Amino acid sequence: MMLWIIFALMTAAAIFAVLWPLVRTPSAARGGSDRMVYLDQLDEIGRDRAAGLIGEAEADAARIEVSRRLLAAVAAEAEAPASAALSMPQPLWRRRVVVISAFTVVPAVALGLYLAIGSPNVPAQPAFGRVATPEGGQSVASLIGQVEAHLARNPNDGAGWEVIAPVYLRLGRFDDAVEARRKAIALNGDSAAREADLGEALVADANGVVTGDAKQVFARAVAGDQGQEKARYFLGLADEQDGNREAAAAKWRAMLEEAPPDAPWASFVRAALTRVTGAPAGAGGPSAGDVAAAETMNDTQRTEVIRGMVQGLADRLQANGNDVEGWLRLVRAYAVLGDRDKAKVAAADAKRALSDRLDEIKRIDDLVKGLGLES
């Protein structure tokens, strides 16, 4: 209420300052004012001479100068009636109508516009709060706090839990992410995607371990949708963590065989397959026929096949060295095969090919360090 009173007073003061000249009664013409001044000066000169304050010569000189100015003023009055008529102010009643209209119409129009497009019911915010979190630049913590406050008031808002769950996951608040995923399923209904998201949160909360609870969740997701990539990947990871690398590789190979050309997760799964097999996976992974043929080979034959695949990757990178993922697979494959010297050479070749991409060179250096190839 105080703010409204202040605004009203400011508006009234501004209007008063602008319109005050319109309500003033017109003063006498400039020429008439000058004539009266000069007549007063002549009387004053006479009084000063009679009192002996000035001499006769000084009095005569002053009378002559003031009389000259008086005559000029009288002449100006005689010449100015036409122009004065043109500049006569409007009748007083017209000016008062303008003033009354300004004091009533302007505030009414302003108030109407504010009520139409403004927000008079929004509570005031302290000045410090506006500076700390300016409009459009709120911090993540502030936004999360708003969502949490909303969910505290509306705990059955399934969409709200769906929105905040991935935020919790990215912030490392894994237990909160699990709880949010469970509530989203309970309120919005079960689906393969929601089950997979819950399983992902459970794995994160367990420091990357696919627990028994998470495996059951992922199994439900795959049962609901055979193409649920996230759930299939984590089921393969569960096999790897259980020591069953062959089962993990089979799951991931199947994913790559079915993957569309532009699948965003293909490189990630390919890297996982390389990790468990020790051989770099091709762009689409080995075919089912290749896998079946490899299972009939002895160790020597299988090693030769793997070396052939590695050499093919090396030849491709020599022709086009912009593929950092390919270089990483090549260095890792040589290390797995026991060819440390070739791994070092591949790392050096990669750094030359990627010389203008410092972030990717750092990935090569990190891999070399992790594989113990520095010495």
**Amino acid identity of 82?**
A
Cα–chain center distance at 209: 34
**Looking at the 3D structure of the chain, how many domains does it have?**
2
Q: Is the pLDDT of residue 15 over 70?
A: no
pLDDT band of 236, cuts 50, 70, 90 = very high
Domain boundary residue, one of 83, 117, 151: 117
Query: Within 10 Å of residue 25's Cβ, how many Cβ atoms?
Result: 6
Give the pair of three-digit tokens for residue 162.
Answer: 């769906």
Question: Is 82 domain-assigned?
Answer: yes
Higher pLDDT, 349 or 106: 349
| In-domain check, residue 205 | no
Q: How buried is 54 (Cβ within 10 angstroms: 0-12 exposed, 13-18 middle, 19+ buried)?
A: middle
Q: How far apart are CA 70 and CA 35, in angstroms?
A: 6
Amino acid 251 reads: K
pLDDT in tens, 18-37: 655 655 555 444 445 666 77
Residue 249 pLDDT more than 80?
yes
- What local confidence, expressed as pLDDT, does residue 279 receive? 58
Residue 182 lies in a domain: no
Picking from 168, 170, 122, the residue whose alpha carbon sits closest to that of residue 144 is 168
Among 67, 96, 117, the domain-final residue is 117
Task: Determine, yes or no, domain membership for 110.
Answer: yes
Does residue 187 form part of some domain? no
Q: Which domain holds residue 22?
A: 2-117
What's the confidence (pLDDT) of residue 217?
93
Q: Does 68 or 91 have the greater pLDDT score?
A: 68
Domain boundary among 68, 84, 117: 117
Over residues 52-79, the pLDDT tens digits come to: 777 777 777 777 776 777 677 766 666 6
Q: Is residue 327 assigned to a domain?
A: yes
Burial of 325 (0-12, 13-18, 19+ CB in 10 A): middle
The CATH number that applies at residue 307 is 1.25.40
What's the Cα-to-Cα distance from 67 to each of 21, 45, 50, 60, 152, rounded to whole Å?
Answer: 34, 11, 19, 10, 92
With respect to residue 107, please indicate whether it lies within any of the assigned structural domains.
Answer: yes
Q: Is the dihedral of CA 110, 112, 115, 117 positive or negative?
A: negative
Task: Evaluate whether residue 166 is within a structural domain.
Answer: no
